[in-house]
Amino acid sequence: MKKNCLFQYATRQRIVEDTGLITKEQAQELWEKYQENIKENWDSISSPQMVIWTDCKNNTDYYTVLKEIEHSDCELVGGKFYKTTRSLIT
């Protein structure tokens, strides 16, 4: 299994998990592990963010976002996350 992914889950207060290179499967396991936690911390004070990057060559190569939940551009509705869309008004 190729280790070419990075995972990070952070709130405004702290970094909860920040990995080096891991496999896509490991990243997905972490994504699932923190699902309930990010829902519990879903507010503007915590402002949580969870991301999986892929196609990374080293521990600082944040290349392509595979999945991302970020408080500033997502909504939590009925226990599921949705990206909000923005459109120009003027």
Residue 89 in tokens: 């008004």
- Evaluate whether 74 touches 32 at the Cβ level (below 8 Å): no
Looking at the chain, how many residues does it have?
90
Q: Mean pLDDT over residues 21-42, rounded?
A: 96
pTM of the model: 0.88
Per-residue pLDDT tens digits for 41-73: 999 899 999 999 999 999 999 889 999 999 999
Q: The dihedral of CA 78, 36, 11, 43: what is its sign?
A: positive
